Amino acid sequence: MNNVNLKNGLRFVLLVLLQIGVFKQISMQMEYATYFHLFIYPIFIFLLPFRYSKVLIIFLSFFLGLSVDVFYDSIGIHAAACVFTAFIRPTVLEIIKPQSDYDVLLSPTISNFGFLWFLTYASIMLFAHLLFYFSVEAFTFVYIGQVLLKTIVSFIASMLFIIMYQFILNPK
């Protein structure tokens, strides 16, 4: 097993453990704030190397979502959101592609592409992930206001943790 696969495997385990052990507890202890959810696990999908095939990324994303679903008792909602996020990833990367194109040996991190590029990329991906997640959770357009409110509040909180994660675990 090469270093990249080992690093991604450890990242997978770390993010699932953080999500179910820390961030789920924070959301549950704030019962009065039903619009506040912290989701850091999607960063696993964001940081997968460019050289991974689309099929592998979708499979890993499904497994990530399923792992989180087991502990959230959400019956496939996280898995669906992760697969959606993996599906739109190539399109988002194509839209925000730098002029010099991507080096297939790299991963989309702050250290490789800079803060502004990563902020744009992660923001689009996280917002899409959360909007899809909360839309599937509500499963009706009647609650579109609540879906948007949950998406925006959770986006702000989760994005702060994702940026901290990047600076702490992927320094230059």
Cα–Cα distance between 110 and 119 in angstroms, integer?
8
pLDDT digits (tens, 9 = 90+) for 60-91: 999 999 999 999 988 899 999 999 999 999 99
pLDDT digits (tens, 9 = 90+) for 24-56: 877 655 555 576 789 999 999 999 999 999 999
Mean pLDDT taken over the chain: 89
Number of domains, the chain: 1
99: containing domain: 3-169
pTM of the model: 0.91
Q: How many CA atoms lie within 13 A of 9 on its CB side?
A: 6
Cα–Cα distance between 60 and 43 in angstroms, integer?
12
**Are 50 and 102 contacting, i.e. CB atoms less than 8 angstroms apart?**
yes
Only one residue has tokens 């399109």, namely 91
